[in-house]
């Protein structure tokens, strides 16, 4: 079974950066630090990927639809940002759901719904419980007590991620956000 939780992250420290690519990088970096978030069924059976790459949505402003694309992850943010910018520019006007071919098996889903804040969010994956990788959805950021907050829905499979792992993930992610410019 899967479950979802929504947390509010303090993203005040990211004000100088483009939020979406920064959060994609931060989420991927955190996923790559935790084997529970890299566990999946492969052709060989259950395994843990060495590293993951983000698969994320880009919005077509003309037809108001999303396309799912992916970029190679790099530990170096500037390198990742260049890859992201090229991919987003190339595919943001596509009318296809998955316009970029070659999606790596070791990729996971990230999306953002920047038009609304939310306190609950759930995606129902119908696959007989075999989809073990996490799904992340961000909402519209808001101000609270002088801080910029971002709702983040985290959906995981309970077979590989307990509440302990999600809590640890959120702590690691918040630390990375807090030290983004360190």
What's the rounded Cα separation, in Å, for the pair 120 and 166? 16
Active site residue 130: no
Catalytic residue among 17, 53, 157, 158: 158
pLDDT value, residue 126: 75
pLDDT at 120 (0 to 100): 93
Measure the CA–CA gap between 54 and 27, rounded to whole angstroms.
9
CB 171 within 8 A of CB 3: no
- Say how far apart CA 2 and CA 136 lie, in whole Å: 13
Q: What is the pLDDT of residue 122?
A: 86
Helices (H) and strands (E) in the chain, counts: 3, 9
Those residues whose C-beta lies under 8 Å from the C-beta of residue 91, and which sit 6 or more positions away, are 58, 67, 69, 99, 100
pLDDT tens readout for residues 114-152: 999 999 998 888 777 788 999 999 999 999 999 999 999
If one counts the domains in the chain, the total is: 1
- On the CB side of 170, CA atoms within 13 Å amount to 19
CATH number, domain with residue 95:
3.30.559.10
Q: Collect the ranges in the chain with pLDDT lower than 70.
A: none
HSE toward the beta carbon, residue 180, CA cutoff 13 A: 23
pLDDT of residue 127: 75
The per-residue DSSP string of 21-56 comes to HHHHHHHHHHHHH-GGGSEEEETTEEEE-S--EEEE
pTM exceeding 0.85: yes
In terms of residue numbers, what domain contains 10? 2-178
- Kindly report the number of other CB atoms within 10 A of residue 130's CB atom: 11
Identify the sign of the CA torsion 31, 37, 42, 45: positive
């Amino acid at each position: 079974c899967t479950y979802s939780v929504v947390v509010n992250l303090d993203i005040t420290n990211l004000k100088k950066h483009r939020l979406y690519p920064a959060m994609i990088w931060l989420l991927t970096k955190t996923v790559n630090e935790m084997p529970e978030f890299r566990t999946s069924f492969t052709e060989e059976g259950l395994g843990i990927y060495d590293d993951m790459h983000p698969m994320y949505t880009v919005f077509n402003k003309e037809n108001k639809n999303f396309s799912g694309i992916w970029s190679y992850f790099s530990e170096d943010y500037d390198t990742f940002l260049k890859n992201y910018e090229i991919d987003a520019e190339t595919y943001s006007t596509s009318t296809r759901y998955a316009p970029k071919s070659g999606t790596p098996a070791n990729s996971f889903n990230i999306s953002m719904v920047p038009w609304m804040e939310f306190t609950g969010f759930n995606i129902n994956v119908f696959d007989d419980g075999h989809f073990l990788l996490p799904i992340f959805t961000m909402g519209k950021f808001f101000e609270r007590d002088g801080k910029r907050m971002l709702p983040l829905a985290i959906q995981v499979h309970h077979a590989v991620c307990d509440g302990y792992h999600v809590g640890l993930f959120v702590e690691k992610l918040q630390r990375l956000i807090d030290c983004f410019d360190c």
